[in-house]
Structure 1
Amino acid sequence: MSQFDQQVYQQRRQQLCRTVASGLILLLGNEEAGMNYRDNWYHFRQDSSFAYYFGLQLPSLVAMLDVDSGEELLFAPQPSLDDIIWTGPLPSIQSLAEQVGVQKVLPLDQVASYLAAKTRVHYLPPYRPEHTLKLAAWLETAPGQVAAGASASLITAIVAQRSIKSPAEVQELHQAATYSAQMQLAVMQHARSGMREYEVAAEALRTAQALGCQLSYPLILTIQGQVLHNHFLGNTLRPGDLLLFDGGVETPRYYAGDLTRTFPVSATFTTRQRELYQVVLNAQTAAISALRPGVRFLDVHLLACRELVVGLTEVGLMRGNADEAVQAGAHTLFFQCGLGHMMGLDVHDMENLGEAYVGYTPDLPKSTAFGLKSLRLGRTLEAGFVVTVEPGIYIIPELIEQKRQEPTFQRFVNFDLLDTYRDFGGIRIEDDFVLTSQGSTLLGEPLAKTLSEVEAIRQHALA
């Protein structure tokens, strides 16, 4: 893993210790995980908070910060002769630790005895079962009680720190978004009628790996764009289809990009596709214009919803007052999810720490209403936040049938016309932004998204 300068990690750890009450901070690195037997591993990915404070990519590491004494420790397994045979000689753990400013390294099997002498241990909620079992053994508690013992003060401190991206992090995210745009463009140029979705996805993966990167999440590449997280990849592209590609690249330092484009398999959009695509683009443009510190992302989301309703009304699929339609939730027949989320070392930044901490506040709890319950970010924006903006229109036949008889939807939706769109699919347009003191800035090189820009790429690719 390519690391930042030593001082970056030292300063991050010092800031964390200043904001956590007395006690010991325990951070667990991830382990290797077998796909179908122990030694056939998935691609290793370090825990993001561990990577943020310690920058080391090796598996099975445990870090501790003593808030009271200032001591910093790293616990690591001792390499064996078998390790050298299979991986070759590697730098010592001690030398790697010193690169990130940690001087004291102890054997991994001393973790339990070290923790036994501590009365207050702060740890994060585990999202991997092996972490739960380790914590249960070390802290002498039942596995079922481990999650409840996670430290709210540590979660709050890490969320506050990781939410504000430093200039170095913004540059890394800019690179991730640029690489993601290059991957998106490669797919837009590569797709052809008659291909299977997995053939197009192969070009995305090839591009990411040719850039020396991994994917920041499993690809969503589908002509069935109404399925929000569609990883099937088995459909055949046909003339007249829309292909929705939601894919991002993760840099070697683990910073994520997250972009979506929707484009025609043919050289041009159909009339209906053009109309609804422009509706989504108008909603995204309005939302981007509203991004600035001091504005709640919830309100940006609702603004985008209103713009969607205005456009859908002009097309004839909705009717009535746009504000009343959004207040009643009628737009959720077409836009069922949230406008965006925080992004950084995780594509859904710090989601493992809990949306109540990352995306919301005690004064602004997350809604349980359909549509709003899927909005991962609602809180007031601050300079240094990095967010996605990704409105969409999704025509889901099963949802149409479920909502057809409800008075709210009958009032605002033209079901007779909507029935002729049942096989339309979905459209999403997504870009990444960093909040500045005055507004926001696009991350990454701009990627084609207007109707004319997208059609120009497709016409040239198919010429």
Structure 2
Amino acid sequence: MFKREVYIKRRTRLHGLMKSGLALFIGNTDSPMNYPANPYHFRQDSDFLYFFGLDIPGLTGVMDFDTGKDWIYGNDFDIDDIIWMGPQPSVRELAEAAGINNSAPLQKLEEVIRVAISKKRPIHFLPPYRSETRMNLGLIIRENPCQMKTMASEKLIRAVVSMRSIKEKVEIEEIEKALSVTWEMHTTAMKMCRAGVREQEIFGAIEGIAFSKGGGTAFPVILSINGQTLHNHDHGNILKKGRMMVTDAGAESGMHYASDITRTTPVGGKFSQKQKDIYEIVLRANTESIKAAEPELSNLDLHLNACKIIASSLKDLGLMKGDINDAVEAGAHALFMPHGLGHMMGLDVHDMEGLGENYVGYSDEIKRSDQFGLAFLRFALPFKTGHVLTIEPGCYFIPQLIERWKSEGKHKDFINYSKLEPWKDFGGIRIEDDILITEKGNKVLGKPVPKTVKDIEALCS
């Protein structure tokens, strides 16, 4: 946990934003893997962590915006629990650690909510993403659990997003801790990227680093020689010379702050000329985007500029044609880069995605596009000092997508389909870094993971 003053300050600010009603923050519970006593690795709800900091299952936080009081509800461990788990802090002790003077057993919470409902007081809660939380919430407020997502408080969502979007100094320090572990994960993967090695071996090695030196992984490791599949979690291939391995992986700090780095490594440590041509295109999109990122520039504009860099360079290779501005406006480049440039990052790797991407990355002025590719841009708003985001351009040759667009004649004025046949088995390349928006520009976070052709080949030699 951070010092209790951090959580007190955050809750005080939320009280000022909300002003009336009650807010329920239901922490996560253990989720059974195949029977109740064998749960998945516990991960606390990020919003509960943000306001209360308690990394223990089965707790609920309540903020009463009318009285100004905060509560922690939970049940103390009994002797049976202690036999198996050892001595545990009481709910009262946990509440005090978070700077809260009020605590009570969970059964008291239902009474409090029942009285609040009878007085027609607003009950605010965030959209639940776990089925057990939906069920629990439905029971507490006496509503259909299936309606919990649509009944979530928009006012509370917007207030929480406004707070979590701007990272505090202590949060940046946690992200840097996560990135120090991620550096070791990626450099290890690069050194292991040799012909004959099974993807599973590399996956196991770098996931082990995340758990032995940090708080585990921030998301399931993406590692594959089939880099044209954007989120490939299959690790069954044997590395072969002539292929490239895309590794998209990040550790979580002990306090659950994420990191997210992607590197693309040639099997055997040497890029072919063909691979180098595409790699340099993606690297330029990455480095130029990082150079340009600053307060007030929108991520939408940064994304579109990165797309133009990629499209223009592919035109130089003969794979695209026509006016590049028109091609990007039409979305033709999305055949090669069908995702957004990056996303917010913090306690979640896709920060606050559970609250709704349109609340996090869009506004009444900047609406989400429905165009293929651009629709997958998670964050489009202008940057503010304190934002932490990823910059992750890519270039992919997806055989099924190429064939579909070709058969439909889609964007034939901008795509040289006749030149794409030799590229269908190329795979994909993605290069990703994490940045902090500062007052005058940005700072790349973490120890630099090699990303130039020269540095990658030197590390792998």
Q: Do the structures match in fold with TM over 0.5? A: yes
Report what 2:394 is aligned to. Answer: 392
The within-5 A match list for 1:226-375 is 226-375=228-377
TM-score (norm 2): 0.97
Mapped contact 2:73–2:91 kept (Cα < 8 A): no
Q: Partners of 1:207 and 1:297 in 2: how far apart?
A: 32
Q: Partners of 1:368 and 1:97 in 2: how far apart?
A: 45
3-state DSSP of counterpart to 1:27: strand
Return the letter of the residue paired with 1:309: A
Identity %: 43
Q: Partners of 2:139 and 2:211 in 1: how far apart?
A: 39
Report what 2:41 is aligned to. Answer: 43
Report what 2:28 is aligned to. Answer: 30
Return the letter of the residue paired with 1:199: E
The within-5 A match list for 1:88-99 is 88-99=86-97
TM-score (norm 1): 0.97
The within-5 A match list for 1:87-126 is 87-118=85-116, 119-126=121-128
Mapped contact 2:193–2:269 kept (Cα < 8 A): no
3-state DSSP of counterpart to 1:148: helix
3-state DSSP of counterpart to 2:420: helix
Q: Partners of 2:19 and 2:314 in 1: how far apart?
A: 52
Name the stretch that deviates more: 223-232 or 310-319: 310-319
Q: Which runs of 4+ in 1 moved over 3 A?
A: 405-408
Match for 1:75 among 70, 73, 76?
73
Shift of 1:62: 0.5
The within-5 A match list for 1:218-229 is 218-229=220-231
Shift of 1:406: 4.3
Report what 1:134 is aligned to. Answer: 136
Shift of 1:66: 0.5
Cα-Cα RMSD: 1.0
Q: Structure 1: state its 5+ residue gaps.
A: none
CA deviations on 1:16-40 (whole Å, 9 max, x unpaired) are 1100131011101000001111111
Report what 2:453 is aligned to. Answer: 451
Mapped contact 1:291–1:439 kept (Cα < 8 A): yes
Shift of 1:457: 0.9
Shift of 1:145: 2.1
Name the stretch that deviates more: 423-432 or 91-100: 91-100
Return the letter of the residue paired with 1:319: K
Name the stretch that deviates more: 364-373 or 88-97: 88-97
Q: Partners of 1:213 and 1:31 in 2: how far apart?
A: 18
Mapped contact 2:74–2:104 kept (Cα < 8 A): yes
Mapped contact 1:328–1:408 kept (Cα < 8 A): no
Report what 2:60 is aligned to. Answer: 62
Report what 2:3 is aligned to. Answer: 5
Name the stretch that deviates more: 73-82 or 50-59: 73-82
CA deviations on 1:134-170 (whole Å, 9 max, x unpaired) are 1111111112222221100100000000000011111
Report what 1:157 is aligned to. Answer: 159
Q: Is 1:419 aligned with 2:421?
A: yes
Match for 1:191 among 193, 196, 204?
193
Q: Structure 2: state its 5+ residue gaps.
A: none
Return the letter of the residue paired with 1:37: Y
Return the letter of the residue paired with 2:98: V
3-state DSSP of counterpart to 2:412: helix
Q: Partners of 1:239 and 1:88 in 2: how far apart?
A: 52
Name the stretch that deviates more: 250-259 or 77-86: 77-86
